[in-house]
Structure 1
Amino acid sequence: MRVIGLDLGTKTLGIASSDLSQTIASAYKTINFRNDNYDYAIKELKLVVEELNPEKIILGLPKNMDGSIGFQAQKTLEFKELLEKEINLEVIMIDERLTSKMAENIMIKADLSRKKRKTKVDKLAATLILQSYLDSRK
C-alpha cells in the first residue's frame, strides 16, 4: 500500500505519494487554500485519500532550528488533530527542518523560473519529507 507525505503551509498543502512498495516518493499535487482554512484543505485531502488509498500519512513538523516547537509547528500539530478526526488513518510526524529550503535549492539548480518554483516548492518539500520517512525505515 501507498503512504502519502504532506508539507503544510499557511496557504498550501503539498502532497507526495509513495509507490506501492513504499520505496520511492513522488510529488503528487498542491492544494491551495485561504490562510489557515484547514477545513477546506482536509476536504480536498479526503479526495486524494480516496483516490490513492494510503495506509498512513506522514506530516512534516517544522521545528525551529534549536528543536523547539514554534508558531508554525503548533499550527501543524493542530492540523494533525483535525486530520485524525476527519480521516481515519495513522498520522506520523517527521522533522522537516529545511525541506522547503532544500526543495527551493533543487529547483534553482534545475534552472526553474521563480514563477515555476513557487508552484512546485510545496509538493517537492512533501516529497523530501516522505522520502526521508521511507529511507528511515530501512
Structure 2
Amino acid sequence: MKILAVDLGKARTGLAVCDEGELLASPLTVIYEHNAEKLCAKITELAAENRVKMVVVGLPRNMDGSEGESAQNARAFGARLEEASGLPIAFGDERGTTITAHNYLNVTGTRGKKRKAVVDAVAATIILQDYLEYRKNQKNKD
C-alpha cells in the first residue's frame, strides 16, 4: 500500500511517499504554505495524484515522550486532513528526524539553499521509513 508521510512545519512541510510493497520511503516534495486550509488542500491533491491509501503525520513529542502544543497542532491538522482527504491518518514519532536529516545532508555535502529546500522532505522520509519498520514489526508479531 502506498503511504504518504507529512513533516508538518510552520513555513515548510515535507512530504515523502513509499512504494506499494512498503519497502522504501522516498522524498516527494516540500510545500511552502502557512495557511493550514490551503496546505491541507495541497496535500490532499498530492495524495490523490500519488494514489496513496493512508497518511502518516509526524508527531513532535517532547524528549520525555509527552505531547506539547506542537503535538496538539499536529493532531488537529491530522484530523483536518483526514476529513478533507477521506484517508486514514496515523501519527509517527518525529523526535530527532530533523537532526538525522541534517546529518544525512552533511554526508551528501548538501549545503545552502538546496539544503533548506530538501531537509523537510528528508525528515518526512525518515518519519515514513520508521513507520514502515513499525508496520513490518507489527506484522511479524501477529
Query: Could you give the per-residue CA deviations for residues 47-106 of structure 1, whole angstroms, max 9, x where no partner exists?
Result: 101211111101110001011111211111110111111110110011110101100111
Number of positions where the alignment pairs a residue of Structure 1 with one of Structure 2: 136
- The within-5 A match list for 1:46-125 is 46-125=44-123
Letter in 2 for 1:25: A
Q: Measure the CA separation in 2 of the matches of 1:50 and 1:70.
A: 31
Q: Which residue of 1 aligns with 2:24?
A: 24
Structure 1-normalised TM-score? 0.94
Structure 2: which 5+ residue stretches go unaligned?
137-142
CA distance in 2, matches of 1:86, 1:5: 16
Q: Counterpart in 2 of 1:129?
A: 127
Which ranges in structure 1 are unaligned for 5 or more consecutive residues?
A: none
Which stretches of structure 1, 4 residues or more, deviate above 3 A after TM superposition? none
Secondary structure of the 2:6 match is: strand
| Structure 2 letter corresponding to 1:24 | L
Identical-residue share of aligned pairs (%): 36
- The 3-state SS of whatever aligns with 1:137 is helix
